[in-house]
Amino acid sequence: MSFNIENLTRENIKSLTPYSSARDEFSGEAKVFLDANENSIGSPLIKWYNRYPDPHQQKVKEAISAVKSVPAENIFLGNGSDECIDLLYRCFCNPGKDNVVICPPTYGMYEVSANINDVEVRRAPLLDDFQLDLVHLENLVDEHTKIIWICSPNNPTGNSMDRADIEAVLNNFNGLVVVDEAYINFSRHKSFTAELIDYPNLVVLQTFSKAWGMAGLRLGMAFASPEIIHTLNKVKPPYNINQATQDLALKALEEVGQVNDMIKELVQMRVALKGVFEKIPFIEKVYPSDANFLLVKMKDARKVYEFLLDRGIVVRDRSNVTLCENCLRITIGTEQENTDLVDALADWHFNTLKSN
């Protein structure tokens, strides 16, 4: 049996008549818009905010298309990637019947969103080197498995999955393979968006929240076949991307150079910080990272976490997560923030020396 989007889509979604907004029914040029019950006089803020935004975000998609070299018809925009994740469940997974596979330790929303949608989660934990366990993955899949979630570079481990392994999953699984590339801009590896033509079952997620520096705007991207994009569009709220976000994303997309400079700087600081961490005696391991954070294994991670909090520095405690025992996940900060962090870690080291 080969991949077939028809077989994968929920029956109620296939037969759904989506909401047709005023902006859907008329989207051409006109002088007078009296079709959407907006405030015709204006807005207390920016003049055009009295109008509903483009429900299809056409201009933003065209700008993304130019930057990413992906046709606009292969792009879906969500209110953060988190909305894309939820919509994939709602379009393709029957509550109480279908299942998905995740590869922990990984991003928490795949599981939370599954639970919200009453979809069973099956786990194929990563191997000791944080790579995919293909044998375990294959054993978990049955006829009700709709999605395999692969995060690469992975949160919280920081590594990229082997490209050949992801391709093996794409070639051997007839459901959707979602490759979450939230951190791809910090990696040396190539995005899977270039493989969309070859794999009708591939969905690539990216976001404006990390490298693009716009977590506050809430804008996520899903790249997939036009059929998958069409299905997501049927289910999304009509105006899921607000006008302010569309305006600001368009401006940001003109600043690719500035964003690339920040990425370079963050990667340089990541490399430098890894070197510094490796010289701190109570730090046992700094895992290789293709992202803008480092996963760091140390003695008494929980106590170090609390000590840092006392100093006003908050990192992510992952010490209770399987395979991340005694690990903290530390985002690369500004030069000053990184210095403050290293100073605090040095103080912790000397405090433990004194008390022993």
Question: Measured from the CB atom, is 170 or 179 closer to ligand PLP?
Answer: 179
Least distance between ligand PLP and beta carbon 70 (Å) = 17
CA dihedral of residues 303, 307, 310, 314 (deg, nearest 10): -80
Name residue, tokens 């050949």: 164
In this chain, which stretch among 207-215, 224-232, 257-265, 338-346 interacts with ligand PLP, using CB under 6 A? 207-215
Number of residues in the chain: 356
Least distance between ligand PLP and beta carbon 152 (Å) = 9
Question: Measured from the CB atom, is 23 or 329 closer to ligand PLP?
Answer: 329
Q: Tell me the Cα Rg of the chain.
A: 22
Classify the phi-psi angles of 184: left when phi > 0, otherwise alpha if psi is within -120 to 50, otherwise beta: alpha
Interatomic CA distance for residues 45 and 31, integer angstroms = 22
Which residue of the chain is nearest ligand PLP when measured via CB? 80
Question: Measured from the CB atom, is 86 or 345 closer to ligand PLP?
Answer: 86
Q: Is residue 86 near ligand PLP by the rule CB under 6 A? A: no
Least distance between ligand PLP and beta carbon 209 (Å) = 3
Q: Three-state SS for 295?
A: strand
Query: CA of 233: how far to CAs of 20, 87, 256, 334, in Å?
Result: 11, 9, 27, 38
Question: Measured from the CB atom, is 215 or 256 closer to ligand PLP?
Answer: 215
Exposure string over 76-95, b if 16+ CB within 10 A, otherwise e: bbbbbbbbbbbbbbbbbbbe
Least distance between ligand PLP and beta carbon 7 (Å) = 27
Tokens of 151: 């995060």
Question: Measured from the CB atom, is 87 or 229 closer to ligand PLP?
Answer: 87
CA dihedral of residues 92, 85, 143, 321 (deg, nearest 10): -160
Tokens of 249: 């994303």
Q: Is residue 182 near ligand PLP by the rule CB under 6 A? A: yes
Question: Measured from the CB atom, is 63 or 182 closer to ligand PLP?
Answer: 182
Measured in whole angstroms, the distance separating CA 315 from the mean position of its chain's CA atoms is: 19
Query: Which of 57, 201, 209, 289 touches ligand PLP by CB under 6 A?
Result: 209
Least distance between ligand PLP and beta carbon 80 (Å) = 3
Provide the residue type at 120 as one letter.
E
Interatomic CA distance for residues 45 and 24, integer angstroms = 25
Query: Which of 194, 197, 215, 309 touches ligand PLP by CB under 6 A?
Result: 215
In this chain, which stretch among 38-46, 77-85, 257-265, 336-344 interacts with ligand PLP, using CB under 6 A? 77-85
Q: Is residue 151 near ligand PLP by the rule CB under 6 A? A: yes
Question: Rounded to 5 degrees, what angle do the CA atoms 265, 271, 273 make?
Answer: 95
Query: Which of 23, 87, 220, 348 touches ligand PLP by CB under 6 A?
Result: 220
Spatial contact of 246 and 63, defined as CB atoms under 8 Å apart: no
Query: Which of 57, 81, 201, 246 touches ligand PLP by CB under 6 A?
Result: 81
Size of the site for ligand PLP (CB under 6 A): 13
Q: Three-state SS for 103?
A: coil
Q: Is residue 104 near ligand PLP by the rule CB under 6 A? A: no
In this chain, which stretch among 20-28, 45-53, 208-216, 343-351 interacts with ligand PLP, using CB under 6 A? 208-216
Name residue, tokens 């994303």: 249
Q: Is residue 158 near ligand PLP by the rule CB under 6 A? A: no
Question: Measured from the CB atom, is 98 or 180 closer to ligand PLP?
Answer: 180
Least distance between ligand PLP and beta carbon 248 (Å) = 15
Q: Is residue 232 near ligand PLP by the rule CB under 6 A? A: no
Strand order in the sheet with 120-123: 75-78, 220-223, 202-207, 176-180, 145-151, 99-102, 120-123
Q: How many other CB atoms are found less than 10 A from the CB of residue 46?
A: 11
Q: Which residues contribute to the site for ligand PLP (CB under 6 A)? A: 80-82, 107, 151, 155, 180, 182, 207, 209-210, 215, 220
